[in-house]
Structure 1
């Protein structure tokens, strides 16, 4: 179903129409088969890049689309409704570009961003480690500066890295100083760096076409000019990036929920029991009504947070709320969609079981929903 939207410009409307067309022709038709086979759709990301959809929220002077987050997130929602691995992949790429776009020097941005935003390169974001997930400030991957300050030697392992092993660059949070948040810095590491290697892709419940892997850094040499921002501000960069990234996850969650709702409505209209479509049964009608309400509420919440961001106002609390609500809603909506399908919903003949498996990860990535509650409560009690 095409969702009616209010967009700020005719250009934004055209971008969303383009996204829907690409999803219908080149994204959604491949999703089930590539998910089952675990094939990563690298060519799809190149297509999106060529269409300008990998760089929407970044400045036009560096090859970006110059679009507000309100528009970018609605594009993400459409992609995720067609195939979550693609929508989430675009969100992760945007997250990986954020530190350079927001904290890089003018020279770094001019040199690095055009290639990062062109679509030919795909990024990954490396914060979590095997022993530091939610407690990200406890990371131990260490970067030791040469005596002359010209380069760093990096050793450690990053975990749960989306696009691990297939990305072209890695935005990596490393320890350059004291324990805790104030000793963390940010480095840009190229995929062809000596000493960079990857674990086997994780065997996951869903999102099988999107590789998630350990990233091993064994004596990797990184030029000092590839440090983003000053030493010691990496944790601030990471949290700032995650505020925006959480809105991307929220939009993806709404996309999956919308896809599940659309499938459930269509099936309820066609499936007949007791001599009539099951859509005539009040029990099914109530399920669909609750599902639709959750989808619309989630969309309104993430768009409200996006408008705060676009206006330059604080939005961290609202981003956490959007991520929390939208992903929990996606889990409920996809579970109810399986229920509408009955036994057929539990089979791979219909997409709702895949939506349900995919929705679960959205409650975990970029800060578990328990962490979102911590973030929200801190904002409330600190005023």
Structure 2
């Protein structure tokens, strides 16, 4: 199957669902998000029996499958932001889904501290969990797709950042397995992510400490017999209450005194794992929880990438690109919302956009939003080309931390009193943009 054919198969599966949403709109029925909310409340979350799922290797493999770097024909001498036809197709599908399903459901999801299950199922039909899975393992791509993941994350966050986090959380685990899992790990876990019933899963790096440093973890992993014992607490874990599989970051304590951060595969049904609510200022629709690990025993085969330091460093950098993409999408949402508002809102007989202070503030939002977007794209393109990208990811992260919150604050300020109340979405975007500047891990591109 050619790249174009794979893209068409991928896009058609996504657009089939979206075409149905268009029909609903054309018939004048309730929008798809309200329909999703109604059906979800009637049927309830489908978690019973799923959390106890047994992961087992479906076939033996002699070597792990890996995504390849971009081919030389795809790599361009200049930094070119033009998406390929396949990327454009997927981005358009994600944009339509964000506008038609995510945006209308965002306010209620924020109020309920949860994204409706049907909306998550619809998002899964876009194939998000397969973006980091090699074609030979059931995915739809052969080459690294960090740019594609970045484009999709940005598009989804334009609808709502918090729901985007909930939808993309399982993809972080499948991407980690595709990048660093060995043959046994891939054979055991990846089939679930490329099937129709994608499990809830989460990458757990963040911890409940002030000024959290992902390279100074308090969660510990000590050697015990043929495996490890994990102890610690992770915070802001999306959909953690219903998750079936976690990738947990922990500080490995070596027998010789050496220590270093590493990633472990941990199934939710093992003894010693509990969750507790972890409501936050933002990310409310992601149903964040604290994950408590109390003497959790895992086999040596649970260690991802052999515990290599470069694997953990790459995971942190890829997570920062993902958050930058989300911030770019939400920042664009703020810009798209405030421009018509300031043009239509009048004071002293003229639109407030005629005031220099207002016009300059809007232009600042546009400049900083585009800067975040460009840095995220640059870092993702270098990752796809197998070039060093830690610097670019760090720059994007720094810009999001400084300017993402500022964009949210300026959006609230431009709406005046309207920006403070929930009748307008800018206050929610402000809360979510603050999270984008402080949370580590959780997502991967």
The TM-score normalised by the length of structure 1 is: 0.84
1:375 paired residue number: none
**Residues 77 and 253, structure 1, Cα contact 8 Å, conserved in 2:** yes
- Distance in 2 (CA, whole Å) between partners of 1:88 and 1:196 is 22
1:380 paired residue number: none
Offset from partner CA, 1:81-113 (integer Å, 9 cap, x none): 111112233454333334322222123223322
- Distance in 2 (CA, whole Å) between partners of 1:285 and 1:131 is 39
User: Does 2:183 match 1:106?
Assistant: yes
User: Does 2:288 match 1:209?
Assistant: no
2:435 paired residue number: 361
User: Does 2:141 match 1:62?
Assistant: no
- Distance in 1 (CA, whole Å) between partners of 2:395 and 2:187 is 35
User: Does 2:217 match 1:142?
Assistant: no
- Distance in 2 (CA, whole Å) between partners of 1:346 and 1:307 is 38
SS at structure 1 position matched to 2:130: coil
User: Does 2:102 match 1:27?
Assistant: yes
Aligned ranges 1:12-51 → 2 under 5 Å: 12-51=87-126
**Higher RCO (C-alpha under 8 Å, 6+ residues apart):** 2
2:198 paired residue number: 120
- Distance in 1 (CA, whole Å) between partners of 2:206 and 2:255 is 18
Which shifted more, 47-56 or 30-39?
47-56
**Which of 276, 282, 288 is the matching residue for 2:356?**
282
1:186 paired residue number: 263
- Distance in 1 (CA, whole Å) between partners of 2:214 and 2:387 is 27
**Residues 171 and 187, structure 1, Cα contact 8 Å, conserved in 2:** yes
Q: How has the CA–CA distance of structure 1 residues 229 and 69 changed in structure 2, closer, same or farther, with 3 Å as cutoff?
A: closer
**Residues 195 and 217, structure 1, Cα contact 8 Å, conserved in 2:** yes
SS at structure 1 position matched to 2:323: helix
SS at structure 2 position matched to 1:54: helix
**Residues 131 and 175, structure 2, Cα contact 8 Å, conserved in 1:** no
- Distance in 1 (CA, whole Å) between partners of 2:356 and 2:91 is 35
Give 1:48 shift: 1.9
Q: How has the CA–CA distance of structure 1 residues 142 and 337 changed in structure 2, closer, same or farther, with 3 Å as cutoff?
A: same
Give 1:211 shift: 2.3
Which shifted more, 27-36 or 169-178?
169-178
Which shifted more, 171-180 or 26-35?
171-180
Give 1:167 shift: 1.7
**Residues 26 and 44, structure 1, Cα contact 8 Å, conserved in 2:** yes
Give 1:289 shift: 1.2
Q: How has the CA–CA distance of structure 1 residues 180 and 20 changed in structure 2, closer, same or farther, with 3 Å as cutoff?
A: farther
**Residues 157 and 215, structure 1, Cα contact 8 Å, conserved in 2:** yes
Give 1:70 shift: 1.6
**Residues 173 and 186, structure 1, Cα contact 8 Å, conserved in 2:** yes
1:261 paired residue number: 335
Alignment root-mean-square deviation, CA: 2.5
**Residues 48 and 54, structure 1, Cα contact 8 Å, conserved in 2:** no
2:312 paired residue number: 238
**Which of 167, 189, 206 is the matching residue for 2:243?**
167
- Distance in 2 (CA, whole Å) between partners of 1:270 and 1:180 is 65
1:88 paired residue number: 165
SS at structure 2 position matched to 1:137: coil
Which shifted more, 219-228 or 358-367?
219-228
Where does structure 2 lack aligned partners over 5 or more consecutive residues?
1-79
**Residues 221 and 228, structure 2, Cα contact 8 Å, conserved in 1:** no
Where does structure 1 lack aligned partners over 5 or more consecutive residues?
368-383
Give 1:53 shift: 2.3
